[in-house]
Amino acid sequence: MYNYSNLSDFEFEILCRDIMQKKLGIKLYTFQKGRDGGIDITDDPKNKKVIIQVKHYINSKYSDLLGTLKKEVQKVKELQPEKYYICCALNLTAKNKRELYDMFSDYMESANDIMSLIDIDDFLECPENMDIVRKHYKLWLESTEILGEVFNQNVFIDCESLLYNIEEESRRFVETSCYYECLDILEKEKILLLLGMPGTGKTVTTKMLAIYYASKGYRIRYTTNGDISDIKNAISTQKDLPEIILLDDCLGQHYFRMKETQGNELLSLVKYVTCHKNKKLIMNSRVTIFQQAKEQVIEFRQFAEDEKFKIKILDMGKLSLSDKGRIFHNHIYFKGLPADYYQDILKDFHYREIVKHNNYTPRIMEFVTREYNFKKVSSGHYYEYVLRCLDNPTEIWQDEFSEKLQQEDRVFLTTLYSLTDTSIDENVVKRAFNYRLSNNTIADTSRNIWEDVLKRLEGAFIQIIEKNGKKEIGAINPSVNDFLREYLQKNDIEREYIRKNATEYEQIKRGFSENMEDIIRAGQANLYHYANQNEEMYVILTYVCRLDVFHDNYKYVVERFFQTLPYGFFEGMMGRCEILIRLLLDKFDTFYHTYDCLDDSSLMEFFWSLNLDEFQTFIELAEKYDIDFFYAKYRDLLVETLEDAILAYMEDVEADDYYGDYDVSDLLKHNMRYNGYYEELDKQSVVNNVCEWIKEDVEKEVSEMIENLPQDILDKIRISKSNVKVDKSDVEEYIESYLEPSVPEYDHHEMDYDYGIIGEMDILDCIFK
For 127-185, the three-class secondary structure string (H helix, E strand, C coil) is HHHHHHHHHCHHHHHHHCCHHHHCCCCCCEECCHHHHCCHHHHHHHCCCCHHHHHHHHH
Residue 746 included in any domain: no
DSSP category for residue 400: I
Choose one of 279, 294, 318: the last residue of a domain: 318
Q: What is the pLDDT of residue 548?
A: 97
pLDDT of residue 392: 87
Q: What is the pLDDT of residue 477?
A: 81
Average pLDDT (398-409) is: 86
Query: Residue 418 — pLDDT band, cuts 50, 70, 90?
Result: very high
Average pLDDT for 285-293: 81
Q: Cα(641)–Cα(650) distance, rounded to whole angstroms? A: 14
Q: Do 124 and 27 reside in the same domain of the chain?
A: yes
Q: Pick the residue with more confidence: 653 or 750? A: 653
Q: Average pLDDT in the 645-653 region? A: 93
**Is residue 141 within 8 Å of 170, Cβ to Cβ?**
yes
Please name every residue paired with 314 in a beta bridge, in sequence order, or none if there are none.
196
Q: For residue 97, give the H/E element and its range.
A: helix 94-104
Higher local confidence (pLDDT), 226 or 249: 249
CA–CA separation, 201 and 314 (whole Å)? 8
Same domain? For 168 and 257 the reply is yes
Could you give the CA distance from residue 683 to residue 675 in angstroms, rounded to a whole number? 14
Kindly state whether residues 164 and 306 are assigned to the same domain: yes
Q: Cα–chain-centroid distance for residue 185?
A: 17
Picking from 396, 424, 445, the residue at the C-terminal end of a domain is 396
The tally of CA atoms less than 13 A away on the side-chain side of residue 423 is: 23
Single pTM value for the model: 0.77
Residue 749 lies in a domain: no
The answer, yes or no, to whether residue 540 has pLDDT greater than 70, is yes
**Is 11 among the domain residues?**
yes
Q: What local confidence, expressed as pLDDT, does residue 446 receive?
A: 67
Q: Is residue 358 part of a domain?
A: yes
**One domain for residues 553 and 498:** no
- Residues near 36 by Cβ (< 8 Å), separated by ≥ 6? 42
CA distance 84 to 102: 12
Residues 6 or more apart whose Cβ sits within 8 Å of residue 644:
608
Q: What is the pLDDT of residues 56-95, one digit of tens each?
A: 888 789 999 999 999 999 989 998 999 999 999 999 999 9
Q: What is the side-by-side order of every strand in the sheet holding 279-286?
A: 156-157, 219-224, 243-248, 279-286, 191-196, 311-314
Q: How confident is the model at residue 249 (pLDDT cuts 50, 70, 90)?
A: confident
User: Does one domain contain both 157 and 45?
Assistant: no
Cβ neighbours around 612 below 10 Å, total: 20
Largest CA distance in the chain: 106
Instruction: Please tell me the predicted confidence (pLDDT) of residue 63.
Output: 93
| Cα three-residue angle 657-659-665, rounded to 5 degrees | 170
Position 48 in a domain: yes
669 and 649 both lie in a single domain? yes
Is the pLDDT at 316 greater than 60, yes or no?
no
472: three-class secondary structure by DSSP: strand
Q: What is the pLDDT of residues 440-454, one digit of tens each?
A: 766 676 678 999 999
- 159 with 296, same domain: the answer is yes
> Average pLDDT of 124-146?
86
Q: What is the pLDDT of residues 554-606, one digit of tens each?
A: 999 999 999 999 998 888 899 999 999 999 999 999 999 999 999 899 999 99
The phi, psi pair for 690, rounded to 5°, reads -65, -40
> Going by DSSP bridges, is the β-strand pair 41-42/50-55 parallel, antiparallel, or unpaired?
antiparallel
Domain span holding position 452: 406-509
Q: Which of 270, 297, 318 is the last residue before a domain boundary?
A: 318
Give domain status of residue 300, yes or no: yes
Contact 465, 164 (CB under 8 A): yes
Backbone angles phi, psi at 673, to 5 degrees: -125, 150
**Residue 156, in any domain of the structure:** yes
Instruction: Say if 124 falls within a structural domain.
Output: yes
- What is the per-residue pLDDT across 686-709, written as a single tens digit (0 to 9) for each? 889 899 999 999 999 999 999 988
Half-sphere exposure of 543 (CA within 13 A, CB side): 20
Instruction: Work out the angle between the directed axes of helices 407-419 and 478-490 (0-180°, nearest 10).
Output: 100
Residue, of 228 and 600, whose pLDDT is higher: 600
pLDDT of 137 reads: 84
- Residue 187 near residue 745, CB atoms below 8 Å: yes
CATH number where 197 lies:
3.40.50.300
- Residue 392 sits in the same domain as residue 461: no
Question: Which tens digits make up the pLDDT trace of 323-375?
Answer: 999 999 999 999 999 999 999 999 999 999 999 998 999 989 999 999 988 99
pLDDT of residue 243 exceeding 80, the answer is yes
What is the domain count for the chain? 6
Question: Same domain for 460 and 482?
Answer: yes
Burial of 674 (0-12, 13-18, 19+ CB in 10 A): exposed
User: Which residues lie below 8 Å from residue 285, measured CB to CB, with a gap of 6+?
Assistant: 193, 194, 195, 202, 249, 250, 251, 252, 293
Do 68 and 155 sit in the same domain of this protein?
A: no
Instruction: Name, in order, each residue with C-beta under 8 angstroms of 21's C-beta and a sequence gap of 6 or more.
Output: 27, 28, 756
Are 325 and 309 members of one domain?
A: no
Residue 304 binned pLDDT confidence (cut-offs 50, 70, 90): confident
Of 633 and 754, the structure prediction assigns the larger pLDDT to 633
Identity of residue 541: L
Q: How high does pLDDT run on average in the chain?
A: 86
- Burial of residue 70 (CB within 10 Å: 0-12, 13-18, 19+) is exposed
Share of the chain above pLDDT 90, in %: 49
Side-chain half-sphere of 630: how many Cα atoms within 13 Å?
A: 26
Higher pLDDT, 619 or 155: 619
Average pLDDT value for residue range 49-55: 92
Where on the phi/psi map is residue 744: left (φ > 0), alpha (ψ -120 to 50), or beta? Answer: beta
Do residues 160 and 301 share a domain? yes
What is the phi/psi pair of residue 644, to 5°? Answer: -65, -40
